[in-house]
């Protein structure tokens, strides 16, 4: 049965990654349009009606500054600034993921060619020079998530498949918290002072990493407490098989198929990747949702892990003794 489980996990891995990445197609990318008022609604309507709906919603704004503000607040992923001289400007942000800007360039470049206009591109919030293609936040989050479920798995394997009682569960959660803090600090030190891959916000980044590691580890402990060592495999399925390809790290959510796009923001890798990008590049804008997701994973994980230990202890206390009764001689 164990071999069947491993084979199933392997095939699920292949299906999830290939399914998510084999044909990235832009769909429902939120953008803004800065154009004169008399043209604005017409251009917005034209972009929203493009075949396949690559751009939606399309928000009309007064000028380029308003469009830049929306990008910096992470309310849109790009903007089209219509010029009066036949040249338009596409505002993008490579900090939100390197694959998104080229996708917008392809879509709006085709529109520009059809209408006989020139299109130039401006990177409003670029990825750091050491962050090639804006992928460092994703790889950092992957490392943190791996640390979370491995820490929980090691404690489960080293001391048996189940926490024997509530105190042991609490001790394991305390050890996990210590590991999470160390992992958050270690990851921050590697990507910033050591490699120079992500700029600024060291304390906040380390704290975010600690939360992510603890949330992933607590979820692993909860699953292990419910179904035993199989729970570790379920945690890997959630984080690695489903979470990584849907995270928006390699391809932004608007480039993913519907299933992966829909689940990504609610799993630790997706919430973590979005939170790191918001923290490092966008002054913390739009970080509230991802933080709430991670906090919920951590809280629910702790409650279930401790609750499972309490329930198991209660059931053991109420179980009849299995000792053999001696027959009278």
Q: What is the pLDDT of residues 19-34, one digit of tens each?
A: 999 999 999 999 999 9
Is residue 213 over pLDDT 90? yes
Number of domains in the chain: 2
CB atoms within 10 A of CB 250: 21
**Under DSSP, is residue 55 helix (H, G, I), strand (E, B) or coil?**
strand
Query: Phi, psi (5° rounding) for residue 84?
Result: -85, -5
Within-domain flag for 13 = no
Task: Say yes or no: 241 and 105 in one domain.
Answer: no
- My answer on whether 148 and 107 are in the same domain is no
**Rounded Cα–Cα distance for residues 49 and 155 (Å):** 54
Of 256, 246, 260, 253, nearest to 22 by C-alpha is 256
Q: Are residues 104 and 68 in the same domain?
A: yes
Q: Are residues 102 and 149 in the same domain?
A: no
Mean pLDDT of 6-21: 93
64-119 pLDDT, tens digit per residue, is 999 999 999 999 999 999 998 899 999 999 999 889 999 999 999 999 999 999 99
Question: Domain end: 74, 104, 123, which one?
Answer: 123
Identify the weakest region by mean pLDDT among 105-109, 151-155, 156-160: 156-160
For residues 74 and 166, membership in a common domain is answered with: no
Contact 264, 256 (CB under 8 A): yes
Look at residue 311 and tell me if it is in a domain: yes
Tokens 């495999």 correspond to 233
Count of CB atoms within 10 A of residue 57's CB? 13
Q: Does residue 82 sit within a domain?
A: yes
- Name the domain boundary from 82, 98, 123: 123
Crossing angle of helices 136-158/268-281, nearest 10°? 140
Q: Are residues 89 and 198 in the same domain?
A: no
**276 and 145 belong to one structural domain:** yes
259 within domain boundaries:
yes
pLDDT tens across 116-134, in order?
999 999 999 999 999 988 9
254 and 144 in a single domain? The answer is yes
Residue 77 lies in a domain: yes
pLDDT at residue number 160: 53
Residue 146 domain flag: yes
If asked whether residues 233 and 113 sit together in one domain, one would say no
- Specify the pairing of strand 78-81 against strand 87-92: antiparallel
- Residue 185 sits in the same domain as residue 308: yes
Report the SS3 class of residue 195. Answer: coil
Kindly state whether residues 34 and 170 are assigned to the same domain.
Answer: no
What mean pLDDT is predicted for residues 215-222?
A: 97
- Does 14 reside within a domain? no
Residue 323, pLDDT above cutoff 60: no
Residue in the structure block whose two tokens are 């992470």: 74
Dihedrals phi, psi of 62, to nearest 5 degrees: -75, -40
pLDDT at residue 164 is higher than 80: no
The DSSP symbol for 94 reads G
Percent of the chain with pLDDT over 70: 95
On whether residue 38 sits in a domain, the answer given is yes
CATH number of the domain that residue 60 is part of: 3.40.50
> How far is 222 from 144, CA to CA, in rounded Å?
18
Domain range for 149: 132-318
- At which residue do the structure tokens 């917008």 appear? 104
Specify the pTM: 0.92
Largest CA distance in the chain: 110
From 2-16, 73-87, 136-150, 277-291, the region with the lowest mean pLDDT: 2-16
d(CA 222, CA 236): 13
Task: Report the half-sphere exposure of 113 (CA within 13 A, side-chain side).
Answer: 6
Q: Which of 72, 106, 123 is the last residue of a domain?
A: 123
pLDDT tops 80 at residue 320: no
Residue 89 dihedral angles phi and psi, to the nearest 5°? -120, 125
Angle ∠(256,262,266) on CA atoms, nearest 5:
120
245: its two tokens: 């390809």
List the structure tokens of 227. Answer: 């179904």
Residue 34: DSSP 8-state = E
pLDDT at 43 over 90: yes
CA distance 116 to 109: 10
Instruction: For residues 113 and 144, state if they share a domain.
Output: no
pLDDT at 159: 53
């Amino acid at each position: 049965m164990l071999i069947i489980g491993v084979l199933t996990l392997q095939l699920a891995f292949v299906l999830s990654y290939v399914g998510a990445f084999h044909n990235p197609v832009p769909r429902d990318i939120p953008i803004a349009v800065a154009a004169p008022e008399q043209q604005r609604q017409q251009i917005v309507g034209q972009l929203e009606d493009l075949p396949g709906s690559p751009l939606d919603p399309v928000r009309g704004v007064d000028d380029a500054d308003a469009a830049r503000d929306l990008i910096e607040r992470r309310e849109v992923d790009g903007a089209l600034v219509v010029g009066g001289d036949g040249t338009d400007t596409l505002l993008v942000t490579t900090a939100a993921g390197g694959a998104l800007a080229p996708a917008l360039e392809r879509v709006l470049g085709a529109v520009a060619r059809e209408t006989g206009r020139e299109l130039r591109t401006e990177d409003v919030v670029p990825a750091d020079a050491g962050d090639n293609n804006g992928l460092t936040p994703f790889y950092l989050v992957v490392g943190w998530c791996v640390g979370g479920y491995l820490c929980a798995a090691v404690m489960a394997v080293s001391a048996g498949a189940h926490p024997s009682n509530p105190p042991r569960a609490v001790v394991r959660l305390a050890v996990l918290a210590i590991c999470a803090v160390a992992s958050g600090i270690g990851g921050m030190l590697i990507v910033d002072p050591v490699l120079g891959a992500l700029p600024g916000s060291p304390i906040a980044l380390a704290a975010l990493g600690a939360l992510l590691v603890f949330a992933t580890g607590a979820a692993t402990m909860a699953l292990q407490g419910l179904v035993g060592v199989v729970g570790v495999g379920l945690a890997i399925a959630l984080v690695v098989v489903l979470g990584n390809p849907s995270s928006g790290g390699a391809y932004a959510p608007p480039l993913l198929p519907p299933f992966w796009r829909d689940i990504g923001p609610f799993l630790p890798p997706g919430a973590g990747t979005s939170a790191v990008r918001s923290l490092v590049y966008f002054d913390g804008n739009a970080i509230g949702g991802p933080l709430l997701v991670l906090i919920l994973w951590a809280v629910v994980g702790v409650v279930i892990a401790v609750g499972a230990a309490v329930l198991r202890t209660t059931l053991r206390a109420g179980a009849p003794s299995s000792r053999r009764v001696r027959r009278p001689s």
